[in-house]
Amino acid sequence: MDTGAVARACGAVAGTAGGTALRAPVGTWTLQIRIGARTDASTAHFTPNGAVLLLSGTGGAGTWTDDGHRKFSFRISEPMIDTDGTYTGRIEISQDAVRHGSAFTGTGESHVYDANDDLMRSVAVDLRAERVPARPETGAGPVPGS
């Protein structure tokens, strides 16, 4: 199934939702996350209706809010799962961001909880994100070479 075709039919990739232009930060973004001297990469997707999904690592989900004039905020809950599939806790991510064209920067704090819901630590987090270009629409014709 071409999930991109479904998204395009719903207007999620084509740039409109229900006939109105999508609000930034709708779309997929690559994230460079800085915690102290360490930098990690991740990917997140923001939906037109205010959901945000963490697409890498163990995943995660939350919400985003348009705060006006290029500013937005988002909150994500990311589960921590051991290599054997055991839940070991979660990370509560909170960011305030400013969009700069096809990029945004964010500052915030993440709180790390163990499996018993006890706060283990809180850390300051900065990030820089770049928008992932939408895939071009494809025709419904045969795949070359098939």
Q: State the Cα torsion 42-86-116-79 to the nearest 10°.
A: 20
Q: Which pLDDT score is estimated for 141?
A: 47
Per-residue pLDDT tens digits of the chain, which is 146 residues long: 333 333 333 333 333 333 334 567 999 999 999 999 999 999 999 999 999 999 998 999 999 999 988 999 999 999 999 999 999 999 999 999 999 989 999 999 999 999 999 999 999 999 999 999 887 765 444 544 44
Distance CA 126, CA 89 (A): 22
Residue 138: what pLDDT? 52
DSSP 65: E
pLDDT at 23: 67
CA distance 143 to 146: 6
Domains of the chain are 25-131 (2.40.128.120)
Q: CA-to-CA distance for 98 and 20, rounded, in angstroms? A: 22
Q: Report helix, strand or coil for 6.
A: helix
pLDDT at 15: 39
